[in-house]
Amino acid sequence: MLLLTSASALSFLLLAQTAPTADSSWQQVGPDGVFTFVTSPDYANDGLAWIATGSVNYEGDGDFHLVTGHGDTVQLLSSLPQGDDPQLLTISPTFAVDHTMFATSGRILAPATELWKSTDAGASWTKLPQPSPLPWGNFFKDLALSPSFATDQVMIASPTGQGGDTYRSADGGATWILNPFPTFDMRDITFAEDFATSGFAYGIRVTTPTFHRSTDFGFVFKQCSHPLSNPGICAGVLFANGIEAAPVGPQGQRPIFYFGKGDAVALAPQNFVRSLDNGSNWDLGTGPGSAPGSSGQGLEGLTIFDLAIADNGLGTGRLYAATSNGVYVSEDNGTTFAPLDAAGLPTLVSRIELAGGPDGDLYVLAGGFPDPHLWGSPSPGATRPGNLYRLRLSGTGSVDLGFALAGVSGEPELTATTAFGATNDFTLELTDAAPSALMFQVYADQPVFAPVFGGTLVPGPAVLVPRTTGPLGKYVTPFTWPASFPPGSAVYTQAWILDAVGPQGFSASNGLKLTKP
């Protein structure tokens, strides 16, 4: 038996079970209709992120929203001067010092996009010169900043569509030079973490998906590996969506991953390929004929849109994949993946960022039409790219199990909230319950889903704690997980309220599964 104690000095006994992974619920952050987003490099300390939204038909009215409090609050921040829709947001790696951000914008049926810079954290924007006029209807897919941007001011820009070249700036976007080696359709430029000394940068081509690498600080990107692991053959996927480079690991290991859509009947059936030696050799991943232990196991048949790397350079090897079937996680550097156990997220996930370190917050762009950076703007009236959601990896995990029973104020709602960061504190809040009514908070170590009083009892019951709701039908209880509970311990809870409008004199909240971090 283990003891769970509340900050209000009530305690109750229950058995704890250990789960293999912590559970949580995705929470929507900000308004609907999100084109893209970016999180602060100093998110663990400043708790900031930015959301770019636009109109339903992708024609103007684009706004920037500022996220504060590690995703808890959102406010309208600014709009681009011409009313264009923001298509891309990029933030300086040294944002905490220089407050610098870049954005690109576009309008449907416009011949080119615009390039913008902000030095006041997105509150105002100044137009920069274009690297070069873009082909009709194209926009910038990528605008990448060197990890040492504060000192070298290196940026690389690449547009969407066929015929687009790659451009390099060494003065923060004031002037640009054309990449001297043909790099049509380059996408997702990615710098090595030690770019300032190694000179390594990476990218992929779209129409004929192949890996490209620069060894000269981004001046020239050459196709495929050097030397090739299979001479004359480039590791590839049917349609390339992105590339990610992990921090330099033990013994100088440089893991690189690129991903997209696989096809069992195509020449390149893989949807996820991996190199652990800076692109010199490739593990061709899942698909017919793949060797045992190949990368991407568990992602078969999925389209991978984006990847977030939680590896801190010490070889932990955790990856998060945004796919056509939700978010998947790998704990072995991309060899195997499994669905991330979390509720409340639309299926298609087109972008993902890990903010605040390996145990920080996950942000994803989910639902609706895939990311326009990848697929181009749909026709007027098409659905939006989706909405922004946050998953807190630290603090108390919470999964909404449903089964609320309506009463006088509708369906009572029970939520668990926790502050960002490693903490054993959390708060249970009941809202939309009958006002000034007797309630029972039920706790157990197992769910039962038993029919009672015209509804469904989710937990136990092992412990019932009587309370009285406030005049607005609310009740808040602060808790602290005790040290005696091991990480992964689970508790199930639900509130039942005396309510004359309920089917048999009771209403009930949704059930929650709580997990200790």
Structural domain contains residue 94: no
Structural domain contains residue 73: no
Count of domains for the chain: 1
Q: Is pLDDT at 229 greater than 80 in this prediction?
A: no
Structural domain contains residue 289: no
Q: Which amino acid is at 321?
A: A
Q: Looking at residue 442, what is its pLDDT? A: 93
Query: What is the β-pairing status of strands 2-6 and 11-14?
Result: antiparallel
Under the banding of pLDDT at 50, 70 and 90, the label for residue 302 is confident
> Which two tokens mark 170?
């060494």
- Beta-strand ranges (E) seen in 418-515 are 425-431, 438-444, 447-452, 455-459, 463-468, 475-480, 489-498, 506-508, 511-515
Under the banding of pLDDT at 50, 70 and 90, the label for residue 179 is confident
Q: Is pLDDT at 341 greater than 80 in this prediction?
A: no
Per the prediction, the chain carries an average pLDDT of 79
Domain limits for position 417: 2-20+397-515
Structural domain contains residue 410: yes
CA angle in degrees (0–180, nearest 5) for 223-214-128: 110
DSSP 8-state symbol, 252: G
Neighbours of 173 (CB within 10 A): 21
Q: Which residues is 447 bridged to in the sheet?
A: 459
Give the separation between CA 244 and CA 237, rounded to whole angstroms. 15
Tens of pLDDT along 421-448? 667 778 889 999 999 999 999 999 889 9
Q: Is pLDDT at 484 greater than 60 in this prediction?
A: yes
Q: Is pLDDT at 315 greater than 50 in this prediction?
A: yes
Three-class SS state of 307: strand
Structural domain contains residue 415: yes
CATH number for the domain spanning 9: value is 2.60.40.10
CB 197 within 8 A of CB 180: no
Structural domain contains residue 284: no
DSSP element (H, E) containing 442: strand 438-444
Q: Looking at residue 469, what is its pLDDT? A: 94
Q: Is pLDDT at 71 greater than 50 in this prediction?
A: yes
Going by C-beta distance under 8 Å and a sequence separation of 6 or more, which residues neighbour residue 9? none
